[in-house]
Amino acid sequence: MLRPAFLLVDAAPAWHLPAWLAVDPQKIGIALLRLALTVAGAWVAQRALFLLVGRGEQWLLKASHSSGHSAQRARTLGQILRHGVTAAVFSWALVHGLEILGWDVKPLLVGASILGAALGFGAQFLVRDVIAGTFIFIEDQFVVGDTIEVNGQAATVEAVTLRSTKLRDFQGRELHVPNGEMKIVVNHSRGWNRAIVDVPVAPGQDMTRVLAVTNRVADELNQDAAWRDLLVDPFVVMGLERVGPDAAVLRMVARTRPGGDAARLSREARLRLLQRWKEAGIHTATPPAAGRRPDPEPLRPAESLPPGAEV
């Protein structure tokens, strides 16, 4: 007996939905419960690892007797480890959650490795930043709290990761700099800084008298109890730094502790110099004489120039 033609056609294979999409309240409930346990387990694992990182920071502080630089270095290491822990725990929770939802993660992992190899060339800058961040910590170039200068921009280090560094400049702006972009880093928080005070002297002044008054100001600062503790080496009058037709620049210098002490001492020394010079009748050069170039004269209109003259 012949069957109708439409019965001879093989039925299309049925599309099997993942188990988590099946209309089965019990299976859906179990999947949701496992997802909740995964999230809770990831959170507990992160908190436990953060606790271990915190204990490691405390151990480093005790081993170094809580010195300032060691405390900053411990905080920097803690930030780097916490970022690594968060990334590892999040990756595990994501893969485990996909397994619960019915995904076969093995092809996903294989595809991720192939995709990672394909994107390896494009991710060379990321690899460069991570390697640079590793050496920043190993070589102890700077830590959280240091004041550094990167590409001519001075700022305070607020956070350090293996990929980038977060800075805060004097105006309060937040800067994010990839570690691989830090070619030359000037650290103002290590060793010592030099306070440099340059004051322009007006022409026609008695330089012998100027030097005598300046030496007295330097002695006052070196003996002042409110300021001498900030000094590593006392103020010294170097003499005339530059001599020109409009001004002579007098310089005095001192070595200070790292940080903002050099700027504070420079401002105080400059204020006292100006006050003592005014009392002694010594005049400073005006801003144009101190180096500002005069504005050029405007050109005449072309029609007012003589024939053949060039503008």
Domains of the chain, by residue range, sit at 20-112, 140-187, 193-279
Residue with tokens 């903002």: 260
CATH class of 193-279: alpha beta
Can you tell me the distance from the alpha carbon of 206 to that of 217, in angstroms, rounded to the nearest whole number?
A: 17
CA quadruple 58, 62, 63, 64: dihedral positive or negative? positive
Q: What is the pLDDT of residue 123?
A: 63
Can you tell me the distance from the alpha carbon of 282 to that of 200, in angstroms, rounded to the nearest whole number?
A: 11
Cβ atoms within 10 Å, residue 60: 17
CB burial class (10 A; 0-12, 13-18, 19+) of residue 118?
A: exposed
Q: Is the domain defined by 140-187 classed in CATH 2.40.50.100?
A: no
Which segments within the chain are labelled E, that is strand? 147-150, 153-160, 164-169, 174-178, 185-187, 193-201, 231-243, 248-256
Cβ atoms within 10 Å, residue 295: 7
Can you tell me the distance from the alpha carbon of 163 to that of 126, in angstroms, rounded to the nearest whole number?
A: 7
Q: What is the pLDDT of residue 267?
A: 92
Collect all residues with Cβ–Cβ distance below 8 Å to 299 and sequence separation of at least 6.
Answer: 311
> 134-189, pLDDT tens digit by residue?
888 888 888 888 889 988 888 999 988 888 899 998 888 999 999 988 888 888 88
Q: What is the pLDDT of residue 13?
A: 45
Cβ atoms within 10 Å, residue 227: 19
- The tens place of each residue's pLDDT in the chain, 311 residues long, gives 445 544 444 444 444 555 545 556 667 777 788 888 888 888 888 888 888 888 877 777 776 665 566 677 777 777 778 877 888 888 788 877 777 777 766 666 555 555 555 555 556 777 788 888 888 888 888 888 888 998 888 899 998 888 889 999 888 899 999 998 888 888 888 888 889 999 999 988 888 899 999 999 999 999 998 888 889 899 999 988 888 888 889 999 999 988 788 889 999 999 999 999 999 998 888 755 444 444 444 434 444 444 444 43
The SS3 call for residue 61 is helix
Q: What is the pLDDT of residue 106?
A: 66
State the first-to-last Cα distance of the chain, in angstroms, to the nearest integer.
109
Q: What is the pLDDT of residue 25?
A: 67
CB distance 163 to 129 below 8 Å: yes
Name beta bridge partners: 175. 167
Q: What is the pLDDT of residue 18?
A: 54
Can you tell me the distance from the alpha carbon of 184 to that of 298, in angstroms, rounded to the nearest whole number?
A: 42
CB distance 92 to 84 below 8 Å: no
Contacts of residues 34-38 at CB distance under 8 Å and 24 or more positions apart, as own/partner, are 34/100, 35/97, 35/100, 35/101, 38/93, 38/96, 38/97, 38/100
Cβ atoms within 10 Å, residue 7: 8
Pairing of strands 147-150, 185-187: antiparallel
Our CA angle for 20, 25, 26, nearest 5°, is: 85
